Amino acid sequence: MLKQFINKLTSYLEFSTFERRGVFFLLFILLLISGYYYYKNTKVVDVVRVDKEKLEILRSNMDKAFENKSNKAFDSKFRKSVFEESTKSTKIISSFNPNKNDIATMVNHGLPLKVAKNIVNYRNSGGKFRKVQDLNKLFTIDSLLFDKLKDHAIIDFDLNTNEEIRKDIDLEKQKTIIEINQASQEELQTIPGIGPAYAKWIAEYRQKLGGFNSLKQLLEVYKFDQEKYDQVSPYITLNEENLQRININSATKKELAKHPYITYQQANAIIAFKEQHGKYSSAKDISKIILFTKKDLNRILPYLDVN
């Protein structure tokens, strides 16, 4: 019986000639595919061999080319700067009238452009040059330049000019001094050199600060530069008692961070320090917080309180 089973199994597994050819063909295809992927995945990338001597020559040539180009550029800039400096140093300053000449005329007479602009801006803001020494009022003129200009400046002292001078002196005596922390935008506009835009920017920044602690803080106002400060400072005064101070024992993190001198991280640290150590006994206690530098403390302490 076993023999019959084996014979049946053998007959069942027998392949015809056609079937055997098909099997061999299939195996051949599989072998080709396997060989292709094996070759592809194990292929060694050819190493590019570099001639070190040739590479060194190429590198040397490139360095020389770059050096020559840099030297040419440097020589060109150097010659140009020397020429400009020599032109400046040999430029002759001729007579000019700071009360009458326009910018182009003064530049043609040897004055630097920025100085000529500064003179005209000073005149436009109501300034007069009554004597040669008045040129020292301009921030663009230092002592060395003044020594070059003083012998060439023409100051008119005719009757009309003297009359104008007397009027200017009278106006100087009658000028109104504005307290910067209490002035309205309309009052700020009465200051020579302050228009509606500057008055608005000053008032907005004053509100954010809680008042000005120093007149120099005006330089932190949008578009307010040193020239503008020099122009308006004779007409303003300051009362520090009008400052609005922040109570660091009751202020929230959001209220603290609104101040221009306190960052969000510093506000968070002030609150955290109070929660950990209890209420502040003095505003100076924030100096124990490492996030505050000496500069930070000098700026912010006038605006803090504990009551």
Is the pLDDT at 263 greater than 70? The verdict is yes
Please write the tens of the pLDDT for every residue from 34-53.
877 777 666 544 444 555 56
Which residue shows structure tokens 């609104």?
258
In order of start, what are the domains of the chain with their CATH numbers? 103-168 (no CATH), 178-242 (1.10.150.320), 246-305 (1.10.150.280)
User: Sign (positive/negative) of CA torsion 98, 100, 105, 109?
Assistant: negative
Token duo for residue 242: 């009008």
- Is 0.85 surpassed by the pTM of this model? no
Please write the tens of the pLDDT for every residue from 147-182.
888 888 888 755 345 555 555 555 554 567 999 999
Token duo for residue 234: 């004779």
Please write the tens of the pLDDT for every residue from 95-132.
889 988 999 998 998 889 989 998 988 888 778 888 88
Residue 297 CB contacts under 8 Å (≥ 6 apart), including other chains: 284, 286, 287
